[in-house]
Structure 1
Amino acid sequence: MRLELHAVGEEAMTALGGDIASALQGHGVVYLDGNLGMGKTTLSRGIIRSLGQQGPVKSPTYTLVEPYELACANVYHFDLYRLASPEELEFLGVRDYFDGENLCLIEWPEKGRGVLPRPDLTITIDAVGDGRRLTLTGETSHGEMTCQRIQQMRSEG
């Protein structure tokens, strides 16, 4: 299933993150695709904050992964932009993060090709006018259900 959403401004992108977090139900692998400055980290911040993170949500550009152990979910926010090769992920013990119980948000997933698991949901973010178009693609049954839940929330809201 493919779902297209639109957001204008940081507040709208953060709110969309909340809807996505709710629909994911605290687990899954999410690929975040888009050029620099498209709002991948802003969307991630919205997801993580809506799951209960009270403190700052930092971009993991230099650490590669920021963990958030929250009451309702363990969230791991990856930014692979600076990754030189996918093999570097093996040194991080990255496979332990993808146990099916965690929520893993992965920016620049193409840098981890061959090591990363198949995503449940791919979110592609493009600039459209003064806002952003988010194309959500369900890649697994969990991803498909996530898209359906978001579509239902949007039609009710």
Structure 2
Amino acid sequence: MEMNYALSEIDNVSETILKNRVHDTIIFKAPIGAGKTTLIKTLCKELGVEGEISSPTFSLVNEHQGKSEDILHFDLYRMESKEELYGIGMEDYLDRKALKLIEWPELAMDLLDQHHVVEIEIVDADRRRLVFA
């Protein structure tokens, strides 16, 4: 599924993704500044997460409680090796019954079972092109 949207329409994008997801893992591929974290924050709010939702750039994973499911938000940008992934207990996180939202997933790809891919492309300062598969 492909969507072209203005940043002000991100709530609609989030709703569409959630209505069409069938897997418990969604990976996000996009350049820095494309809006991965912004979209993930919107997804979390749509799922009923209350309070502040921040990027786990330094903590690597943030855990949230939605209305009907737990949510694990990963930012693996700073990970340099698979050994580091094992060191944070990535396999245990992936085995949990929760929605897993993973930014910068490249090192973790061989650990993932079925998952969705969100690819975001910057069209201009206010517009994005998103592919959800």
Name the TM-score, length of structure 2 as normaliser: 0.88
Task: Please say if 1:70 is aligned against 2:66.
Answer: yes
Structure 2 residue 56 is matched with structure 1 residue 36: no
- State the structure with bigger RCO (CA 8 A, min sep 6), 1 or 2: 2
Give, in angstroms, the shift of residue 18 of structure 1: 2.9
List per-residue Cα deviations over 1:30-78 (Å, max 9, x = no partner): 1100000000001101110000011011001001100012230111000
Q: Do the aligned residues in 1 keep the contact of 2:21 with 2:116 (CA within 8 Å)?
A: no
1:28 deviates by 0.9
For 1:36-115, what aligned pairs fall within 5 Å after superposition? Answer: 36-99=32-95, 101-114=97-110
Match of 1:19 in 2: 16
In percent, how many aligned pairs have the same letter? 34
SS of corresponding position for 2:101? strand
Tell me which amino acid in the other structure corresponds to 1:95. Answer: E
Q: Unpaired segments of 5 or more residues in structure 1?
A: 138-157
Alpha-carbon distance between aligned partners in 2 of 1:113 and 1:81, rounded to the nearest angstrom: 14
Number of equivalent positions:
132
Are the counterparts in 2 of residues 51 and 72 from structure 1 also a CA contact under 8 Å? yes
In 1, Cα distance between equivalents of 2:41 and 2:130: 15
C-alpha separation between the residues in 1 aligned to 2:88 and 2:80? 13
How big is each residue's C-alpha offset from its partner over 1:53-105, in whole Å with a ceiling of 9 and x where there is no partner?
11011001001100012230111000011112122111121112223731100
SS at match of 1:6: strand
CA contact (8 A) 1:17 1:43 kept: yes
Paired residues of 1:15 and 1:46 also in contact (CA < 8 A): no
RMSD: 1.8
Instruction: Output the amino acid matched with 2:115.
Output: D
Hey, what does 2:123 align to over in structure 1? Answer: 128
Q: TM-score, normalised by structure 1?
A: 0.76
